[in-house]
Amino acid sequence: KNWPSDPGYSGQWESWSFAPKEYPKLDARTRRLGFGGHYDRAWARTAGDPRVIIAVLDSGAYWDQRDLVNKWFLNAAELPPPSDDCQKPENRGDGKRLYDANADGVFNVQDYTRVTGHSQPDFSKACDLRVADANRNGLLDPQDLIAAFSDKKDDDKNGYVDDIAGWDFFRNDNDAYDDTRYGHGNGEAHDSSAEGDNGLAEAGVCPRCRVMPLRVGDSFVADANDFGLAATYAVDIGASVIQEALGTLDN
């Protein structure tokens, strides 16, 4: 039975408690115990919780990654709530607007669109006219919110101006985009947090957790000082997990 219902799941042999049929030549002990991380057994209890924020300290994010676009952490303290056109009738008007406009229990890019669940936040379904498809990738993603709502004010007074969706400690700005397209950090985010049951790719270990991109370098070798700043930021903003696979240089 194909569970979760994403393509390529059976190839994630390192994830499951069972031995896939593609591996027939296994000794009896391995076949009995399994040879993966037993994620399927963990998911029988929980697939995670969107209140859990995983901070990925690496080479940054691909904002156009479709199985992560709904998962990126948004800092409500630096954003206005979605406009009335995104809200339910009872939540329209100044002082009444909710950040979780679609009432699905999590604040993410979907709240600025007319989609929910595992649907993609295609820009054609945007409901907040203040937001444009700034990066022209067809999605309403955190980079579009950064472009629309960066006002050069440190609204949450944490020392990071307009930290709407993580921070770039490598270039010291508020867009953690992996502009070299190195991909290592995005791969880390995918491994931990890729959305499940969306028919796109492999699910992450915690498919319901949220992920915050903190760019500390343009490869998997970073400056230890940037890493230290990012780790402190992650803890202060409320991340539960710091994830990285790096080497660092101490200058």
Distance, CA of 86 to CA of 92 (rounded, Å)? 9
From residue 173, alpha-carbon distances to 8, 159, 246, 248 in Å are 36, 12, 21, 20
pLDDT, residue 244, reads: 92
CB 77 within 8 A of CB 163: no
CB 58 within 8 A of CB 188: yes
What is the full per-residue pLDDT of the chain (251 aa) written as tens digits?
Answer: 444 555 555 566 677 787 666 666 777 777 777 777 888 889 999 999 999 999 999 999 999 999 999 999 999 999 999 999 999 999 999 999 999 999 999 999 999 999 998 899 999 999 999 999 999 999 999 999 999 999 999 999 999 999 999 999 999 999 999 999 999 999 999 999 999 888 887 889 999 999 999 999 999 899 999 999 999 999 999 999 999 999 888 76
CB 212 within 8 A of CB 53: yes
Closest to 202 measured CA to CA, from 31, 36, 23:
36
Strands 53-58, 241-243: pairing kind? parallel
Which tokens go with 35?
Answer: 């040879």
**Residue 175 CA neighbour count, 13 Å, CB half:** 17
CB 244 within 8 A of CB 57: yes
CB 72 within 8 A of CB 141: yes
Q: From the DSSP assignment, how many helices (H) and strands (E) are in the chain?
A: 5, 6
pLDDT, residue 1, reads: 42
The pLDDT tens digits for 145-193 are 999 999 999 999 999 999 999 999 999 999 999 999 999 999 999 999 9
The DSSP code sequence of 148-191 is: HH--S--TT-SS-TT-SS-EETTTTBS--B-TT---HHHHHHHH
